[in-house]
Each structure stands twice: as structure tokens, then as C-alpha cells.
């Protein structure tokens, strides 16, 4: 157990906080009462304003350089500095914010600010996202979806050799809280021979983990899997909103397009790779008979500690539930250990052909369903394509999402002997098509 495993903060709301303890210290970009976007760190119910702390002279050396790289409303330059800068900043922040810190008086005297997280601050995307790739590494989800579309051959043979992914649309990624406008598109209604155009009728969510790229690579130069973990800056929650009826019509032969590109929601806080160190696990053993990864994807250290133990939860709050003051209803509770490939393997595979990754690029893991019905990460799976609707508290039923429905994603890490940490929420409320 590290010295700071149960260290407390003089920011009292951080002690026992569900997400933003002293052991977490995730970074994000925020505005305060209409200010220009600026970098900050979540601590309890507050944001520690990094720009104000820098002006107060609270950083020096590598930690100072890290904060300077975070200025300007994006964290791209900070991500590009790599692990050493993240560690230096993390250590300094723990010195500043720990209970009994001799620096507390200096923080308060020199105007470094703690700002209320909930009521006065607006969160933004933490980085300018140059490229977004969505993977498909939740094997239970892949099998479930495959059964719906290919009952005789649910999992195609390349799945266990290749981390499957597609290039998504970076321009429509939005932070938690931005409304989800129901998309329009072409669909082929059951029994029809020609498509029709109109609002999506089978709107769905997908419970995913987001992976932020740190240091990139030169074009033409692959990142070895043994070094790929060093190129990951941190993680967030990601909801890959999906128009299932549009998707069913368009996905052959080149895969998702308009069914996915209308919006992707992410949680705004970047939980660093360092904060997640206590929650690393061995990659779950592959079932007997499954092939071992090819050599460029196989590293002993990554197999021994490349998986992450993150509990993932998805909840639904309907308009009727809101009006009746009913709590959000849990739709699924899964875990990132359901990833068939590690995050490092995704980085290695993405770059193996010479593709250039850049600081601030974002990966989605793909839907992380578990093997049990209570662990499913999409309505497509829960309702088996709409065949078996779910009943909600108050008597409502759902096959897919309706206008006014709000999806809430949450994540939490817990391990005996360590303080737990969380990711904050990723929320999105569906509104009618224009």
C-alpha cells in the first residue's frame, strides 16, 4: 500500500467522496461564470483552478511545465508531455491538497481558487480531438449482437485475432450534459423492399470506456505493445449513441456511418493512468481453444497487469420518472474486465500499419457488456432487438429510447487497502428530431 492510499485532504468534501478523492485528481477543462475555458482538477465537490494556482506561484520544475502545457482551454500539449509530467503534477497536487499540508495557507493567501463544481462551473471537452476510433473489444456484446444478426455465425473468425474498430466522427463528440438530438436517416422497415426517410425509431446507448492518447508516434513508426501503455494519458466514460434502424440498413459492407456520427457523449474528467494503477489486473485468461494474440500484440507485462478493474453502471431516467420524483433505474452493471483486448493492445494495433496517433486522440472501447443479463450494456441486447421490452418503475416499458429519456453512465474503482475513485457522470437526454 502506498503512503497516500488513505491520505485525506483539507478539502473536506473529498474525504469519502464517491468519485473525486485525493487519490484520483482527474483533470478537465471548465469555465467559471462565463470565463474562458481553463484547466482544473476535481477534488471533492470543487475544482482546483490550475491557472490561478500557477499565477500564485504554487508550481515549479516539471510540475510547473505540466500546468503551463495545460493552459489555453485544451489538455493536448499536457497529454503530449507523457507520464513523467503527469506524475510530477500529481505529486505536487497531493502535496498542496493533503490534510495538514503546510501549503494550505499559501494557497488561500495567494488567491489560488477552489470553485464549486456543481453550480458555478461549466465543463468542456478536455482536449481538441483530432481523431476518434471506436473499437469492439467487449466480447460478450459482440457475441450478443452477432446472435441477433448472424444466428449461425455470431462471432466472425477475425474477432479473436484483430482488435476490431472503425473510425468515428470527432466533430460530434460532446461532454456530459449536452442534449442528444434524435437523428434522421434512411431505414428499411420490416416487410418493406425500399427504404424510407425519417427520425430514428430505435435509438440506443452503448456503455463504453474512453481512452485518451498521450504521446503520439511519427507516421510510419509503430508503437510496440510493450511501450503502448506509456502512450495512454487517461480514461473517461463514453456513450456511443446508436440509431439501430439506420445502422441495420447502412452497415453493410463498410460498417457504421450515420447511425453513430450524430453524437458521442463523454464524461469530462480525465482519470489519469497513474490514478488507476492500484486497479490494474492480469488480463483475463482466454477461453480454452482461443488463439493467443499475434506476437506484435503480446507482451508479458501487459498480460500480467494491462487490464483494469472498473465497475461500469448505466441508468435510465424517463420524463415520467422525473415528474414523479422516482430515482433513475439501473439498466446494467458491468466491468471493464470484460475487454477481450487491453488498452495497450489497442494502441499497438492502431499504429502497427504506421498510422499516426496524436495527443488528444480518443478511443472508445466498444460496448462492455458482461455475460449475465444484469450486465448488458445496450438496449439492443437487453430487449433482444426490441422483441422483449423491459418494464420500468411506474409501469413504463421500453424497447428503445424515447424523447425525454436520460441515460446516465457512472464508473467506480474499488480495492481492499486502497481508497476508491470514480469517473463522475456521463449524461445525455434525448430530445425530439428537428
- Enzyme catalytic residues: 141
Three-class DSSP category at 316: strand
3-state helix, strand, coil in the chain (%, to 5): 25, 25, 45
Pairing verdict, β 132-135 and 362-364:
parallel
| Long-range contacts formed by 371-374: CB under 8 A, 24+ apart | 371/140, 371/338, 374/332, 374/333
Q: How far apart are CA 60 and CA 218, in angstroms?
A: 30
CA distance 316 to 398: 10
Using CA atoms, how far residue 177 sits from 121, 146, 238, 428, in Å, is 13, 31, 12, 5
Of 95, 98, 107, 76, whose CA–CA distance to 170 is shortest?
76
Residues in the chain: 434
- Stretch (H or E) spanning 281: strand 280-281
Is 262 exposed, middle or buried (CB count within 10 Å of its CB: 0-12, 13-18, 19+)? buried
Instruction: Collapse the DSSP code of 148 into the 3-class scheme (helix H, G, I; strand E, B; otherwise coil) and give the result.
Output: helix
Q: How does strand 242-243 pair with strand 280-281?
A: unpaired
- Closest by CA to 247, choosing from 132, 387, 365, 379, is 379
Alpha-carbon distances, residue 297 vs 291, 307, 404 (angstroms): 12, 14, 43
Q: If 0-12 CB within 10 Å is exposed, 13-18 middle and 19+ buried, where does residue 102 land?
A: exposed
User: What is the longest distance spanned by two Cα atoms in the chain?
Assistant: 74
Amino acid at each position: 500500500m502506498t503512503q497516500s492510499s488513505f491520505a485525506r485532504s483539507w478539502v473536506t468534501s473529498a474525504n469519502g467522496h464517491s468519485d473525486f478523492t485525493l487519490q484520483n485528481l482527474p483533470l478537465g477543462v471548465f469555465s467559471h461564470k462565463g470565463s474562458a475555458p481553463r484547466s482544473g482538477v476535481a477534488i471533492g465537490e470543487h475544482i482546483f483552478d490550475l491557472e490561478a494556482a500557477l499565477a500564485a506561484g504554487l508550481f515549479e520544475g516539471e510540475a510547473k511545465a505540466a500546468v503551463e502545457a495545460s493552459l489555453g482551454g485544451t489538455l493536448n500539449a499536457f497529454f503530449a508531455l507523457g507520464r513523467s509530467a503527469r506524475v510530477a503534477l500529481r505529486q505536487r497536487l497531493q502535496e498542496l491538497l493533503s490534510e495538514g499540508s503546510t501549503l494550505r495557507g499559501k494557497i488561500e493567501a495567494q488567491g489560488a481558487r477552489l470553485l464549486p463544481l456543481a453550480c458555478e462551473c461549466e465543463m468542456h471537452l478536455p482536449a481538441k480531438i483530432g481523431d476518434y476510433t471506436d473499437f469492439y473489444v467487449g466480447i460478450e456484446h459482440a457475441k450478443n449482437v452477432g446472435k441477433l444478426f448472424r444466428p449461425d455465425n455470431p462471432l466472425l473468425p477475425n474477432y479473436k485475432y484483430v482488435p476490431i474498430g472503425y473510425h468515428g466522427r470527432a466533430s460530434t463528440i460532446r461532454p456530459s450534459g449536452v442534449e442528444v438530438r434524435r437523428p434522421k436517416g434512411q431505414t428499411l422497415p420490416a416487410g418493406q423492399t425500399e427504404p424510407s426517410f425519417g427520425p430514428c425509431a430505435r435509438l440506443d446507448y452503448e456503455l463504453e470506456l474512453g481512452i485518451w492518447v498521450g504521446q503520439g508516434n511519427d507516421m510510419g513508426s509503430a508503437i510496440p505493445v510493450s511501450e503502448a501503455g506509456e502512450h495512454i494519458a487517461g480514461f473517461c466514460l463514453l456513450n456511443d449513441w446508436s440509431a439501430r434502424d439506420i445502422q441495420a440498413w447502412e452497415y453493410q459492407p463498410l460498417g457504421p456511418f450515420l447511425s453513430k456520427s450524430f453524437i458521442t457523449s463523454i464524461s469530462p474528467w480525465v482519470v489519469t493512468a497513474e490514478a488507476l494503477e492500484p486497479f490494474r489486473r492480469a488480463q483475463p485468461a482466454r477461453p480454452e481453444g482461443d488463439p493467443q494474440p499475434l506476437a506484435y500484440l503480446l507482451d508479458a507485462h501487459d498480460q500480467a497487469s494491462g487490464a483494469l478493474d472498473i465497475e461500469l453502471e448505466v441508468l435510465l431516467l424517463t420524463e415520467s420518472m422525473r415528474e414523479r420524483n422516482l430515482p433513475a433505474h439501473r439498466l446494467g452493471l458491468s466491468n471493464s474486465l470484460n475487454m477481450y483486448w487491453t488498452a495497450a493492445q489497442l494502441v499497438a494495433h492502431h499504429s502497427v500499419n504506421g498510422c499516426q496517433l496524436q495527443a488528444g486522440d480518443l478511443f472508445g472501447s466498444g460496448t462492455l457488456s458482461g455475460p449475465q443479463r444484469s450486465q448488458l450494456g445496450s438496449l439492443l441486447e437487453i430487449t433482444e432487438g426490441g422483441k422483449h421490452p423491459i418494464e420500468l418503475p411506474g409501469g413504463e416499458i421500453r424497447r428503445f429510447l424515447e424523447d425525454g429519456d436520460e441515460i446516465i453512465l457512472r464508473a467506480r474503482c474499488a480495492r481492499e487497502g486502497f481508497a476508491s475513485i470514480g469517473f463522475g457522470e456521463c449524461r445525455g437526454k434525448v430530445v425530439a428530431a428537428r
